Amino acid sequence: MIRAVVWNENVHEQTNEAVAAIYPDGIHNCIAQALDADTGIASTTATLQEAENGLSAARIDQTDVLLWWGHAAHGEVADVVVDRVADAVWGGMGLIILHSAHFSKIFKRLMGTPCNLTWREAGERERIWVTARGHPIARGLPEHFDLESEEMYGEPFAVPEPLETVFISWFQGGEVFRSGLTYRRGAGRIFYFRPGHETCPTYHDENIRRVLVNAVHWANPAAARITNVHYAPSRDVSDALEPISERGPKLHAPGEEGLR
Ligand code: ZN
């Protein structure tokens, strides 16, 4: 059973009537319901307002795949939580970054680029094309599908070249956008998925829900989490697999761990 945690900043739902009408239980619970329809996934939720932003060390240890929705409150996420999530991803935890979380601290940290893009809020049609036929994240989807009303995101999207581009979106106004991107950071798999503007019913859409389920299965780590991702031990000359003799000056004592 894959343990998925759906994290949401949960701000618009509290402050905007249109958002609350579409997601009366919050975006996080809508997504968690979509995941729980799959018998292989057990999902729970976490929000910004909880202690440690809902992501204590113990919680992260019990998480196989973390989904992240944020928009208005990226700066309120504690840096210690961001560090913790980054360590977990480097150790193998899966991470799915949704829509405006392109500007989240954790995504920018893991990408190392500005992650900016162009955008327009006009309720226009988005057509999502599958560009990687046979990819596990696109399983069960048609060649393309539409969302009648979405926010536009346009290129250039300032992220590193992805490992795979699973989806490309076309918008009614003419722009295109790489809307489904895969990355690996350390041992962890990362999927960025564009749709999901808070005033649109996107997470109720069956194709979108299918993508989220597929992405959780894809991002689920294949091996046990690496917990000592920063460990940088020195290998002693006496432990070398082939005999070598020491030359030159030595700065560090035998067995000393690397500085960071
Ligand atoms: Zn948006």
Strands (E), 91-160: 94-98, 118-130, 144-154
Q: How do residues 64-105 score in pLDDT, each as one tens digit?
A: 999 999 999 999 999 999 999 999 999 999 999 999 999 999
Ligand 1 centre to CA of 151 (Å) is 6
Q: What is the pLDDT of residue 128?
A: 98
Ligand 1 centre to CA of 258 (Å) is 42
φ, ψ at 172 (rounded to 5°): -55, -35
Give the side-chain half-sphere CA count within 13 A for 106: 34
Nearest Cα neighbor of 200 from 150, 128, 153, 152 is: 150
Angle at 189 between CA 188 and CA 191, to 5 degrees: 145
Low-confidence ranges of the chain (pLDDT < 50): none
Ligand 1 centre to CA of 99 (Å) is 6
| pTM for the full predicted model | 0.96
Ligand 1 centre to CA of 70 (Å) is 9
Ligand 1 centre to CA of 197 (Å) is 4
Ligand 1 centre to CA of 237 (Å) is 55
Classify residue 255 by its DSSP letter. Answer: T
Ligand 1 centre to CA of 96 (Å) is 16
Ligand 1 centre to CA of 195 (Å) is 8
Ligand 1 centre to CA of 247 (Å) is 59
Q: List, as ranges, residues with CB under 5 A of the ion ligand 1.
A: 100, 151, 197
How are beta strands 94-98 and 188-193 bridged, if at all? Answer: parallel
* d(C-alpha 146, C-alpha 53), whole Å: 34
Ligand 1 centre to CA of 241 (Å) is 55
Ligand 1 centre to CA of 100 (Å) is 5
Q: What is the pLDDT of residue 157?
A: 98
- Start-end of H helices in the chain: 12-15, 17-22, 26-36, 57-61, 79-91, 105-111, 206-219
Ligand 1 centre to CA of 72 (Å) is 10
Q: What is the pLDDT of residue 260?
A: 61
Those residues whose C-beta lies under 8 Å from the C-beta of residue 245, and which sit 6 or more positions away, are 237
Ligand 1 centre to CA of 101 (Å) is 9
* d(C-alpha 129, C-alpha 169), whole Å: 6
CB 142 within 8 A of CB 208: no
CB 209 within 8 A of CB 203: yes
Element of type H or E holding 225: none
Torsion angle of alpha carbons 215, 167, 142, 213, nearest 10°? 10
CB 196 within 8 A of CB 203: yes
The residue whose two tokens read 């990226």 is 74
φ, ψ at 52 (rounded to 5°): 55, 35
* d(C-alpha 141, C-alpha 130), whole Å: 8
